[in-house]
């Protein structure tokens, strides 16, 4: 539905977190246990959750991939808010994105890449696309401070050397993974994707939202 005049249009780019959502093989799936339940006569509903901090849309902390790196509660909030660009990446499954694969010139300090290679967060496919170290360097040279992707990782699933994570760490860039970008037109937005303030954590879930004001540049 189009935004009303003068009212920003919001795009929720976070997948639904449920018991169905996929997580990396061997990681902790999402579960929610009901401790109290109004329907059973309790005065209120009360529940607890258990899951990996890398569930759904999430922000990686440098401590996830670099010894001595900052934990997620130590990351500056301004990294996750502000001018942002969604760019299509012409890349196949199981491939790394190169600069030549970008469908538009980089114009914003935060770039979210839409690959379409992880189409259903509830159905894990291990052949999703990822960044390349070459692309990370290319983005950084153009002033990009945050890079996000619509797959579970900026590296390919089989990659144990973490090529792209290390390239990001060398440049102190911020990372968003697991975004839902299928319904978002390429173009410029304001990004709001603040990670939970989890002390010492190597990542944190985010409620990632793109904000488009009337007259914003979208394709």
Write out the catalytic residue numbers: 64
Query: What six digits make up the tokens of 26?
Result: 């061997």
Chain mean position to CA 198:
17
- Give residues with Cβ within 8 angstroms of 4, minimum separation 6: none
State the Cα–Cα distance between residues 84 and 189, nearest whole angstrom: 5
Could you tell me how many residues make up the chain?
Answer: 219
State the Cα–Cα distance between residues 212 and 71, nearest whole angstrom: 30
Q: Residue 118 in 3-state DSSP?
A: coil
């Amino acid at each position: 539905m189009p935004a009303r005049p003068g009212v920003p249009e919001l795009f929720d780019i976070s997948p639904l977190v449920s018991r169905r959502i996929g997580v990396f093989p061997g990681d902790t799936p999402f579960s929610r246990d009901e401790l109290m339940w109004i329907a059973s006569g309790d005065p209120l509903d009360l529940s607890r959750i258990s899951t990996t901090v890398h569930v759904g849309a999430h922000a990686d902390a440098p401590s996830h991939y670099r010894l001595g790196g900052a934990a997620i509660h130590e990351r500056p909030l301004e990294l996750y808010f502000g001018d942002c660009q969604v760019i299509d990446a012409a890349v196949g499954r199981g491939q790394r994105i190169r600069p030549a694969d970008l469908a538009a010139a980089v114009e914003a300090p935060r770039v979210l890449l839409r690959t379409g290679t992880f189409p259903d967060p509830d159905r894990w496919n291990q052949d999703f696309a990822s960044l390349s170290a070459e692309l990370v360097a290319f983005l950084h040279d153009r002033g990009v401070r945050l890079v996000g992707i619509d797959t579970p990782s900026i590296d390919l699933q089989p990659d144990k050397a973490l090529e792209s994570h290390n390239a990001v760490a060398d440049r102190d860039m911020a990372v968003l993974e697991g975004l839902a970008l299928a319904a978002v037109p390429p173009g410029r937005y304001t990004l709001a994707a603040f990670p939970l303030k989890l002390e010492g954590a190597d990542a944190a879930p985010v409620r990632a939202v793109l904000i488009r004001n009337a007259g914003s540049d979208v394709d």
